[in-house]
Structure 1
Amino acid sequence: MEVDANQTVATIATTLPGAAALFRRHGISFCCGGSDSIASAAEAAGLSSEVLVGELQGLVAAASAEAPDGTIDLIHHLRTRYHDTHRAELISLIPLAAKIERVHGDHPDAPIGLVNLLERIQSDLHSHMHREELMLFPLMERGDHQALSRSIEQMRYEHDVEAQHLAELEHVTGGFHLPEGACNSWRALYTGAKKFADDLVQHMHLENEVLFSRFTGETA
C-alpha cells in the first residue's frame, strides 16, 4: 500500500490502521474534511505534506506486522481476533448507544443516529463475515484460486461500504470527542466504539492488503 498526497483524508483514515489517530493528533478531521486531499489537509494544519505522507507511510509496514505467514493461520487469526470480536462488541455497543440517545438525547453533542448506524453495521458485517466463513475462507484453505476472483472483488466492494460507515461513525460521534461532564456510560460507549472502529480498519487492511493479495497475484 502506497500513500500519496493526492489521496483523500477519509480514504486513508478508513483503510490504513493508525491513520485516524494520527489525523486526530494533528487536528485533521476526516468526517467534515474527509474529501480534502492529504496535501490540502496538511497545509491547513500547518504541516508539510511530505512530512504527513511520511508519517502515514510509516504506518503501512506496521499495519501488516501481525499477519501470520501461513494462510490458514491468518484466516484463523481473522476469525478469532476480528470476526468473533466484532460480533461480541456490537452486541454490547448497540444497547449502550440506545441508552445514551434515550437519556442524553437533548444534549447538543448527543450521538443521535448512532444506534441506527451501529445496527446497519451489524447487519452488513453479519452477512459479510458469514459468507467469508462459509464460502470464501474454505476455498482459500483449499487453495482454489480459480473460484476466488469474483468473491474477492465482492468482499472488497463491501469493505468500501464499511469504510463509508466508519466515516459516518466518526461524524456522528464528533471524532469520539466526549463533552465535558460526560457520564461513565457515554465514556464507555465512545471508548468501545473507537476500539471497534480501529479494529475494523485493521481487519479490512489485513484482508485487502495481505490475505486477498495472496490469491490475486498483487504485492501485499
Structure 2
Amino acid sequence: MTTPDTPLLDDALGTLARTIPGATALFHTHQLDFCCGGKKSLRTAAAERSLDTAPIVAALQALQAVPAGDGRDWQQASPAELIEHLLTRFHARHREQLPELIRLSRRVETVHADRPECPTGLADHLTTMTEALESHMQKEEQILFPMLLRGFSPMVRMPIGVMRLEHDDHGVALARLVALAHGLEMPRGACNTWRALVLGLRTLREDLMEHIHLENNLLFEGLNHAQHSAESVG
C-alpha cells in the first residue's frame, strides 16, 4: 500500500490526466473519472472505488519517465487550435457514433431479449443521450466557441458554467450506459452485432470522457488562468 505522503496521491485526476501522457488510458482501466470528476484527488477517487493506489501511482510514475512521443500536447495548444480539435475529433465523431450504436442496440435488444445480460433499455437511453449531446454541442458551436474565438470576455463565464453542469449530466448518463450494458463486459458467445455494440460503447465512453476532459481541464481551466493573470496585472 502507499504511504500518506506518496507523490501524486493528492493531485487532482484532471491535473494528472493533462500533465502525464498516457494517464487517461490508465484511468480508463481503473474506471477513474478524470473528466467530470477531474477535481477529485487520486487518493479520494481511488478510495471511493476501494482501489489500491500503489500500482496506480507506480504506473503514473513510469509514464512520467517515458519521453514525450509524437502525439500533440494539447496543453500547449492555443484556444483556437483546441476548439478546432474538439470540433473535428469529437463533435463530428459523436454524430457518427451514436446513430449506429442506437441501431445496434435495438437489434440486440430485439434478438436477445431472453438473455439476462441483454442491455434492455439501452437504445432508449442512447437516444436520450444523443438528444442531450446534440443540444450541448450546438450551444458550444453557436454560442460558446465563437465567443472564445473573439477573445476572453467576462461574458463567457455564464456559458462555461452551463457547459460544466451539462458535462456533469453527461457523466451521469455514461454511468447509466455502463450499468445498462452490464459493465461493458463482452457476453459469452455474443454475435457479431452484440460484439460490435460493446466495442462501440467502450469507444464512445472513452471518446466522451476525453472530450469532456479537454474542455473542463484544458480549455476552461486555461481561460481561468488567463483571466486571473490579466486581473493581477490590471
TM range, smaller chain = 0.7 to 0.9
Tell me the TM-score normalised to structure 2 length: 0.73
The yes-or-no answer on 1:87 pairing with 2:95 is yes
What fraction of aligned residue pairs are identical, expressed as a percent? 35
Cα deviation, 1:55-83, whole Å, max 9, x if unaligned, reads 46878999983456121111111001000
Residue of structure 2 aligned with 1:52, choices 49, 56, 59: 56
CA contact (8 A) 1:145 1:215 kept: no
Residue 34 of structure 2 aligns with which residue?
Answer: none
Counterpart secondary structure, 1:178:
coil
Cα deviation, 1:66-113, whole Å, max 9, x if unaligned, reads 456121111111001000100111011101110000110111110111
Residue 232 of structure 2 aligns with which residue?
Answer: none
Residue 31 of structure 1 aligns with which residue?
Answer: none
Residue 29 of structure 1 aligns with which residue?
Answer: none
Residue 194 of structure 2 aligns with which residue?
Answer: 186
Following the alignment from structure 1 to structure 2, what is the Cα–Cα distance between the partners of residues 66 and 115? Answer: 34
1:30-49 counterparts in 2 under 5 A? 38-39=46-47, 41-42=49-50, 47=52, 49=53
Bigger-Rg structure (1/2):
2
The change in CA–CA distance for 1:19 and 1:125 in structure 2 (over 3 A counts) is farther
CA contact (8 A) 2:74 2:82 kept: no
The yes-or-no answer on 1:164 pairing with 2:172 is yes
Following the alignment from structure 1 to structure 2, what is the Cα–Cα distance between the partners of residues 58 and 165? Answer: 33
The change in CA–CA distance for 1:59 and 1:138 in structure 2 (over 3 A counts) is farther
Deviation at 1:180?
1.2
The change in CA–CA distance for 1:58 and 1:171 in structure 2 (over 3 A counts) is farther
Unpaired stretches in structure 1, ≥5 consecutive residues: 25-35
Unpaired stretches in structure 2, ≥5 consecutive residues: 1-6, 18-22, 32-43, 229-234
Following the alignment from structure 1 to structure 2, what is the Cα–Cα distance between the partners of residues 146 and 213? Answer: 14
Residue 200 of structure 1 aligns with which residue?
Answer: 208
Following the alignment from structure 1 to structure 2, what is the Cα–Cα distance between the partners of residues 70 and 212? Answer: 12
Tell me the TM-score normalised to structure 1 length: 0.77
Deviation at 1:20?
5.3
